Structure 1
Amino acid sequence: MSPNAQLLTISPDCQALLLPIVADEPDLQAGLPLTQPELDELALIRHPAQRTEWLACRVAIRQLVEQLSGVYKGLYKDEYGKPHLRGLPWSISLSHTTGWAAAVLHQSRPVGIDIEPIREQFQRVVPRTLSASEIAHAAGLPERLAVYWCAKESLYKLYGKRQLTFREHLHIDPFTDGATQLTGYVRLPDHTETLTICCYTIGPGLLAVAY
């Protein structure tokens, strides 16, 4: 496990890892098995910080796999861009922001993760991401808006398909400030799921895991 990494036990079958990015690109890539499609994807990333974030996510998921005595053989992406482990049946999700990478692994069901700093810019995305009742509950407070955004991002990553909008299809029940467990929903015309979202004040601001 990397120094300063924070391991979170979400449930008996689910663990997340939050990793501060302190290593440079060569150190992150050293010994990390990358498939040719992954190398091709990395080659398209020009910004140095984004390259280190991309690599750090894979370091984090590798460490989670090895925690379970698995052999990490790299990732592949499905037709929707959702990442999967090569040769292992476990579900994963990745997230990164400036200076931080996060990964989550669930042994038996789909999972999604998101990390976000708390910032004023969330106010700008309110009309297209929150329902009327969610807007009323958020009351313009940056901390609540961040929770809604982070929670909905984790739901979106869990579902892992396109044709979803945050406002119409992803919903979060009202929550008390500081709540660590939320209830979320994916609501489509022919399908509804009720999901648990664990929310942590940690690292750059917030970390949410939906499962």
Structure 2
Amino acid sequence: MPDFEVILESLAPSFSVGALRATPDEVNEWAVHQTRFPQRNVAALPFHRQLEHRAVDLVLHHMTGRTKGQSLAQEVVHDANGKPSFSNEKGTYISIAHHSHGQHCWAAVALSEAPIGCDIESLRSQLQTISKRFLNPDERSSVGDNIEGLCAIWGAKESMFKAFGPSLDFRKDLHVIWTDASTAIEAGMQGTVRQEPGLYKAWRLEGRLETGKQTEFWAVCGPTKHLKSF
């Protein structure tokens, strides 16, 4: 049996992160018969992509199962830009993110009545190398090479892009105010999308890989609240 648990749950906004460990046979058995993603032949995808779809399916099953009147089998479709939506529920926005390693996958799902985005980012040194591609000068000045800050800002900008993209430039259109929360388990950030401000929330989570090594990542969701622009 696949090993699945919800490791983060927030009701405001509606945001959940689940951790899944499953074998190729376990995931493929589900993929052959799945109806969650009707546009996709999930069974024909590589194992890690099947695993990601299954993890999202289980998180959604948990989230919609606790909400009265929602169907456990809501279909998720994607537009030409890969943006997900429910096929039969136009009043609910959905955002999906995942991070996989071997037979482990962490999946995040955000649901809202307004545009919303989410992301999962591991604490990886590669972000220091590519930071000039997504940080503006003010952000570089405030965060420097701090891995936690780079990870949280990248996650916030990914969330902005998913909520309001695709025609957005990470450096020019998306801005995040980072206050050092390197040791925090939970942090809030103010961000703007083309001068429109909002609040974004980040949670620092841990997981264990097959090697037994501990891994850390930020799960980010937003905007959790729209702010007035002045």
RMSD: 2.1
Over 3 Å counting, the alpha-carbon distance change for 1:174 and 1:36 in structure 2 is closer
User: Residue 209 of structure 1 aligns with which residue?
Assistant: 221
User: Residue 45 of structure 1 aligns with which residue?
Assistant: 45
Q: How many residues align?
A: 199
User: Residue 102 of structure 1 aligns with which residue?
Assistant: 108
Pick one of 139, 147, 152 that aligns with 1:147: 152
Identity %: 22
Over 3 Å counting, the alpha-carbon distance change for 1:148 and 1:7 in structure 2 is closer
Q: Offset of 1:65 from its aligned partner?
A: 1.7
Q: Offset of 1:78 from its aligned partner?
A: 2.5
CA–CA separation in structure 1 for the residues paired with 2:67 and 2:19: 22
Which stretch of the first structure deviates more once superposed, 130-139 or 197-206?
Answer: 197-206
Q: Offset of 1:169 from its aligned partner?
A: 0.9
CA–CA separation in structure 2 for the residues paired with 1:131 and 1:30: 45
Q: Offset of 1:141 from its aligned partner?
A: 1.2
CA–CA separation in structure 2 for the residues paired with 1:97 and 1:28: 19
User: Residue 119 of structure 1 aligns with which residue?
Assistant: 124
CA–CA separation in structure 1 for the residues paired with 2:34 and 2:43: 15
User: Residue 81 of structure 2 aligns with which residue?
Assistant: 80
Paired amino acid for 1:83: P
CA–CA separation in structure 2 for the residues paired with 1:35 and 1:199: 28
Q: Offset of 1:124 from its aligned partner?
A: 1.4
Name the structure with the higher helix share. 1
Alpha-carbon displacement from aligned partner over 1:135-172 (angstroms, at most 9, x marks no partner): 1111111111111111111111111x322121111110
Q: Offset of 1:117 from its aligned partner?
A: 1.0
Name the structure with the higher strand share. 2
Over 3 Å counting, the alpha-carbon distance change for 1:17 and 1:174 in structure 2 is closer
Check whether the contact 2:4–2:20 (CA below 8 A) recurs between aligned residues: no
Runs (5+) with no aligned partner, structure 2: 207-215, 224-230
CA–CA separation in structure 2 for the residues paired with 1:166 and 1:44: 33
Which stretch of the first structure deviates more once superposed, 23-32 or 131-140?
Answer: 23-32
Alpha-carbon displacement from aligned partner over 1:112-150 (angstroms, at most 9, x marks no partner): 110111011101111110001101111111111111111
Q: Offset of 1:79 from its aligned partner?
A: 3.5
Helix, strand or coil at the partner of 1:166: coil
Which stretch of the first structure deviates more once superposed, 63-72 or 127-136?
Answer: 63-72
CA–CA separation in structure 1 for the residues paired with 2:173 and 2:151: 18
User: Residue 90 of structure 1 aligns with which residue?
Assistant: 92
Runs (5+) with no aligned partner, structure 1: none
User: Residue 172 of structure 2 aligns with which residue?
Assistant: 168
User: Residue 132 of structure 1 aligns with which residue?
Assistant: 137
